[in-house]
Chain A
Amino acid sequence: MTSAKILGGAAQAAPRHWNVDGLPEIEGGVLLVLWGSILAWHALWPSRLSAMAAGVLPLLLVALLLVADQLLLPQLKARITYPRVGYAQPRVAPYRRAAAAGLGAAAAGMAAWIATEGFDGRHLPRALAGITAVFLAFCATRFRLPRFFAYAAVAVVCGLALPREWPVDLGIGVLQAAVGAAALAGGVRTLRRLLRMPIAEQS
């Protein structure tokens, strides 16, 4: 193996290892399904309760995400993942160039779209589907996680299949729920495969 290959492969090893158990996808998937379902519920059967849920839920989800990330996920990983495949705490890498390029590309795409089609809120779910697919495909290539391509494909299919006459809330809700369900299924499959591995001894 050449030095360059070793360096290239190792740089993404720890972030990839963070997703080796599917737990982050299960966490993200559950939250997306919840969020999408509430949005779709509010779009289909609007009521005071559904409006309140749709308004409060984003804050609740952020709180849930923080609790899960700080308390639940580390404990689950310590019990399930680390004894089987080892422990690595990834460094928080500043992906400034990638983030700037992604945001620039998204802004350019939106500007081109608005320039040719005119601003129409009905396009929002499809635009969001495109951005989601690009982000997931980026994660798949950057961290060598091929299953993320499947989630990106779900976002693309969803974006193409959403009827134009649907309300924006419903479109976004269905998109979030579909991508969340795909991530949840992928995460559960990965976790089940990991649980079949024996607990290893350290030296």
Chain B
Amino acid sequence: MSLAREAAELDRLIHEPARLAVMALLFSAEEADFLYLLRETGLTKGNLSSHLARLEQAGYVGVQKGFVGKIARTVCRLTPEGRAAFAAYRGHLRSLAGAQ
């Protein structure tokens, strides 16, 4: 298979840089909250919210809203599908890099 064709098979939903950063951060954690993702990715609140919504829609990320005392907290975690999709994406990227 040609490199271009192989590259085209990358999961486009994950391949977008901001979503890739969110998925990679969540992959190394059991769960994380909105503030952590905001600090680590450097995205704006609106931008991060919209990317999280897209990932949630795709079934890759589970989002749970709640309160700790009086402070609102949004906790995100990768679903089993999200974890599998990210592992596949990472493997794909590695094989592409290895083919060079």
Contacts and interface: CB of A to CB of B under 8 A. Distances in A.
Interface of A: 1, 3-4, 6-7, 9-15, 17, 78, 82-83, 85-91, 93, 199-203
Pick from B17, B24, B93 the residue with the most CB of A within 10 Å.
Answer: B24
Contacts, number: 99
A160 to B, nearest CB: 37
Contact of A7 (B31, B38, B90): B90
B33 A11 contact: no
B35 interface: yes
Contact of A88 (B29, B49, B90): B29
Contact of B28 (A91, A199, A203): A91
Interface of B: 15, 17, 20-21, 24-25, 27-40, 45, 48-49, 68, 71-75, 90, 93, 97
Contact of B68 (A3, A9, A17, A78): A78
A202 B24 contact: no
Given A78-B68, A86-B36, 4 more contacts: A11-B28, A82-B68, A83-B71, A87-B33
A15 B29 CA distance: 8
Contacts of B28: 10-15, 90-91, 93
B39 A85 contact: yes
A14 B32 contact: yes
A15 B30 CA distance: 11
B21 A86 contact: no
A33 B17 CA distance: 45
B29 A85 contact: no
A17 B39 CA distance: 11
Contact of B20 (A3, A13, A88, A200): A3
Contact of B71 (A11, A85, A91, A199): A199
Contact of A6 (B24, B29, B49): B24
Contacts of A1: 17, 21
Contacts of A199: 71
Nearest to B14: A3
Contacts of B40: 10, 13, 17, 86
B32 A89 contact: yes
Contacts of A203: 34, 38, 45, 48-49, 72, 74
Top-9 shortest CB links A-B:
A86-B36, A10-B24, A86-B35, A14-B29, A88-B32, A89-B30, A87-B33, A14-B28, A88-B29
Nearest to A8: B24
Contacts of B17: 1, 3, 6
